[in-house]
Structure 1
Amino acid sequence: MLELGSLQRDALCEIFNISVGQAAASMSQIINEEILLSVPMVEFYSVEEAAHYLERSSQRVCSVRQSFDGSFHGNALLIFPEARSLDLVRLMMGNSLPIEQLTELEQDALSEIGNIILNSCLGSLADIFKQPFQCGLPALHIGSGISVLKECDADHVVMVLQIQFSLASRELHGHVIFIMNANSLDLLSEAINQFLGTMMVQS
């Protein structure tokens, strides 16, 4: 299991706070309501630990998955508890259909929310680490926390970012997770160290 020092974790939190801030500005324009996003925590889990973590958060979740490939590769997912997953979509669409009546248009809207947030996170990593990524198309999945991770190998490591959504009318919580193998996690650690080294030289 990859262990990051406190300085590395702080750097990751700051990087992702910048990226979700950019995503929040884009989403605020879409729904015409101010959204504030923050990443208060970054944690690393095994696949089994991550599955239990997601099951504890909610028995069923909605997730938007995107693959990414660059100097390190894996899958990035935006995850909401099922019962709350349509709150942002309803703000965008202006309706109140129950989740079992999720229409194709609403599925597209939920996928677009995931696309905005995940691309913002990956774009920030690419800019800061100066390492471009190729991203796949977003794919929507609704099911248990374990089913979200069903395609993972046992040796994969899961990086979990807690995401807090603050709106004037409500507060939502979700997660962005990155699923990578051990080699990709090592490369991520090296990229963080190079970034920190550059920052120290500049200061």
Structure 2
Amino acid sequence: MSTASIELSALQQDAFTELVNIGVSRAAASLRKMIGVQVLLSVPSIEIVSRATAARLVAEREASEFVVVHQDFQGAFSGRALLIFPKENGRELARAVTGGDISPEEIAELEDEALTETGNIILNGCLATMANMLQRTLTMSLPRIIRGDAPAIFRPSAAGDDDEEALVLFLYINFSVHERDIRGYIAMLMDLPSLESLKLLIDDFIERAIGETGG
């Protein structure tokens, strides 16, 4: 599917990148309070792509299967948010969250709980902050975990809908947790009307920002 009709302009891209970075920074601060160590998150790139392209992007970067925390969101724009880690990085994050000095068997038992809580903090915190800055609210579902290869995690059945044409707002994120380098991805599965609504809200945000600076 062509994404030309919903591509972000350079100004929209800059504004949305700012929104996302503020969102993940606040989420990182919340995560730091929970685990008691320094947490840094950054979002160096944002793209709107098809599901197939999103699957290819993560498959090209990673050789392993993935562990994914996902939450549905509804409001001024709706969809499903995915926090995606290579399986090994998911374990490493769980180890950081639980303190690190535990056995592989204990990590396996605690991994889902640690990742669910981490995903809830990052996805909920990021989306809530973005919505607030766009002067809107979102309702979030409880987080759930799925595992699989890249095509599986972007398959419609995995996303809870049957829309093969749904697009993905794809964010590559870098983590640094307690001196551990952990990479991951945030993806938002959204249909065309939701993406168009989000673009309009970004335009409103840009207009308010220009007005505040007297530009």
Contact 1:54 1:146 in 2 (8 A): no
Question: What are the ranges of 5 or more consecutive residues in structure 1 without an aligned counterpart?
Answer: none
- Opposite residue 176 of structure 1, the aligned amino acid is I
Residues 1:180 and 2:183 aligned together: no
Distance 1:54 1:90, change over 3 A: same
Would you say 1:12 and 2:35 are equivalent positions? no
Moved over 6 A (4+): none
- Pairs aligned (count): 201
Q: Which runs of no fewer than 5 residues in structure 2 stay unpaired?
A: none
Q: Which residue of the partner structure matches residue 24 of structure 1?
A: 28
Structure 1's 190 and 178: CA in aligned 2 closer, same or farther, altered over 3 A?
same
CA drift at 1:19: 1.1
Distance 1:27 1:44 in 2: 27
RMSD (Å), alpha carbons:
1.6
What residue identity is the alignment partner of 2:104? Answer: L
Do the aligned partners of 1:57 and 1:81 also contact (CA within 8 Å) in 2?
A: no
Equivalent in the alignment of 1:116: 121
Report the equivalent of 1:148: 153
Match of 2:77 among 72, 81, 98: 72
| Cα distance in 2 between the residues matched to 1:3 and 1:154 | 19
TM-score, with structure 1 as normaliser: 0.93
Conserved 8 A contact 2:45-2:172: yes
Q: Residue 102 of structure 1 corresponds to which residue in structure 2?
A: 108
1:83 match: 88
Report the equivalent of 2:170: 160
Alpha-carbon contact 1:126-1:133 (below 8 Å) kept: yes
Asked whether the equivalents of residues 93 and 177 of structure 2 are also in contact (C-alpha less than 8 Å), the reply is no
Q: How high is the TM-score relative to the length of structure 2? A: 0.88
Determine which of 49, 62, 71 is the counterpart of 1:45.
49
Residue in structure 1 matching 2:39, options 18, 24, 35: 35
Letter in 2 for 1:164: N
